[in-house]
Structure 1
Amino acid sequence: MSRSDRPTVVLVHGAFADASGFARVIPELIARGLDVVAPAVPNRSLLCDSAYVASVVRQTPGPVVLVGHSYGGAVITVAGVEDNVRALVYLAGYALEENECLGELQGGFPDSDLASALVYTPFPADGSAAPGTDVSVEIDRFPSVFAADVDPGLASVLAVSQRPLAARAFNEKAPSAAWKTRPSWGLVATADHTLNPEVQRYGYRRAGMTTVEVDSSHLVMLAHPERVVELIEEAVRATAP
């Protein structure tokens, strides 16, 4: 594969996390000769976050493989319509339908353990008299709900360094569904206590994705980075010109 044909892998993190969640995946992708970008997603709203990621994609020369974890899956569903996106990869992610929101997709299935572990905190919203609401995970429950098979010391650090998600993101509808026009791959984390694996399976099946299942917690990138890298590489190879 020539330099101009080789895609850049853009890694999109989800809620309650940041791009450091890809710390075990990035070195392996680079070692395989792939360019990687892992932007900091604002986690303020689905429309704003997808617009931000779309701007990153547009400014990336050449083709892009978009990878989204968890809420990041919803983000790439919208941002993935950019012209240079070659493929989508979902990691324990939300694959929304057009005109569907997170709450609607998730609401069709039993709650995970996450539902009872959420914390709601007001924050000052720019240009508005009313405060916004941040959603995070109880620090004491974060390891068991989010990162059960991740090193306990690391899980404790992740618990106190969460990147909250603004509540408005749960109710904003996806204006587009990029999986309708882009080849897509999905990883189901079968031991996920954050996003019900059935939500993952349903979204992937509806989109006609190539799907793999891994016995993992929600943070599959840290618990099983080799499986994540394999799936990304499959998407890269399968969509090479």
Structure 2
Amino acid sequence: MTSAQPTVVLVHGALTGPDIWHGVLADLRLRGFTGYAPVLPLRSLAGDAAHLRSFLATIDGPIVVAGHSYGGSVISDPAALTPAVRALVFVTAFQQDQDETAGELNARLPGSRLTPENTLTRPYPGGTALYLRPERFGEVYAADLDEETVAVLAAAQHPIDPAALGEKLSGAATWRSLPSWALIGTRDVSIPAELQRFMAARAGSTVTEVDSTHAVPLSRSSPTTDLIVAAAA
């Protein structure tokens, strides 16, 4: 591995944590890359951006950052990145723009099943945490994974405070100044494929489409890794 080889940082979204990246981390390791998947608090967009930036600041050399789901909102935030970041990869992810919120973006086009009847909330000290109903997790998030994996993911959710989904991005989106790649899941009903295509087109992202649900880093880890490696090149 040369000194110019970038480090890959994988940013999870809402409802799942770094475990969504386990297959990709293993693939990256086999291909000679160093990868990390930090944990985000998922309490506010500003807080998640600050958390990611503090993590990136500990890494020497160039960095490629990939975001899944709401993780795309985080890596779209200019407050989240350091100057070492060279490229962005959006994996069935929001590509949020200035003055937009993730919540209003996901309602812009029809098709999302992240709806009140499929979700539930639980209080935590200082706020409210949003979950998918366990019995709906498979159909909404991961219909192409086996039943046992879906059950485990549903039981071990990383909930998000809905307030984070209502926070506007302040400042010009990172994808306006950095090269970006987008992996679109054609069977995604969390962030519908048509919305992903719209966001990728306006960002000028290099697009790859795969036959997958929202859980593409787990269900299609190899093509996910392929796209990240392409960005790293």
Q: Under a length normalisation based on structure 1, what TM-score does the superposition of the two structures give? A: 0.92
User: What does 1:53-202 correspond to in 2, within 5 Å?
Assistant: 53-78=52-77, 79=79, 81-115=81-115, 116-125=117-126, 132-176=127-171, 177-202=173-198
- 1:213 is aligned to 209
Once residues 213 and 154 of structure 1 are traced to their aligned partners in structure 2, the CA distance between those partners, rounded to angstroms, is 23
Aligned residues: 230
Could you give the per-residue CA deviations for residues 76-123 of structure 1, whole angstroms, max 9, x where no partner exists? 111554200000000000001112111221221114122131112222
Task: Report the AA paired with residue 234 of structure 1.
Answer: A
Kept in 2: contact 1:80–1:178 (CA 8 A):
no
Once residues 198 and 57 of structure 2 are traced to their aligned partners in structure 1, the CA distance between those partners, rounded to angstroms, is 30
Could you give the per-residue CA deviations for residues 18-49 of structure 1, whole angstroms, max 9, x where no partner exists? 10111111111011111111101111111100
Change in CA separation of 1:163 and 1:24 when aligned onto 2, cut-off 3 Å: same
Once residues 65 and 108 of structure 1 are traced to their aligned partners in structure 2, the CA distance between those partners, rounded to angstroms, is 29
SS at match of 1:114: coil
Kept in 2: contact 1:190–1:213 (CA 8 A):
yes
- 1:129 is aligned to none
Task: Report deviation, 1:2.
Answer: 2.1
Change in CA separation of 1:80 and 1:209 when aligned onto 2, cut-off 3 Å: farther
Unaligned runs of 5+ in 2: none
- 1:40 is aligned to 39
Unaligned runs of 5+ in 1: 126-131
SS at match of 2:72: helix
Could you give the per-residue CA deviations for residues 154-193 of structure 1, whole angstroms, max 9, x where no partner exists? 1110000000000110111112310011100001111012
Kept in 1: contact 2:56–2:81 (CA 8 A):
no
Kept in 1: contact 2:112–2:189 (CA 8 A):
yes
Task: Report the AA paired with residue 163 of structure 2.
Answer: R
**Could you tell me the percent identity over the aligned residues?**
40
SS at match of 2:73: helix
Task: Report the AA paired with residue 75 of structure 2.
Answer: I
Kept in 1: contact 2:111–2:189 (CA 8 A):
no
Once residues 96 and 189 of structure 2 are traced to their aligned partners in structure 1, the CA distance between those partners, rounded to angstroms, is 20
SS at match of 2:151: helix
Kept in 2: contact 1:80–1:88 (CA 8 A):
no
Task: Report the AA paired with residue 104 of structure 1.
Answer: E
Once residues 24 and 44 of structure 2 are traced to their aligned partners in structure 1, the CA distance between those partners, rounded to angstroms, is 26
Change in CA separation of 1:113 and 1:198 when aligned onto 2, cut-off 3 Å: same
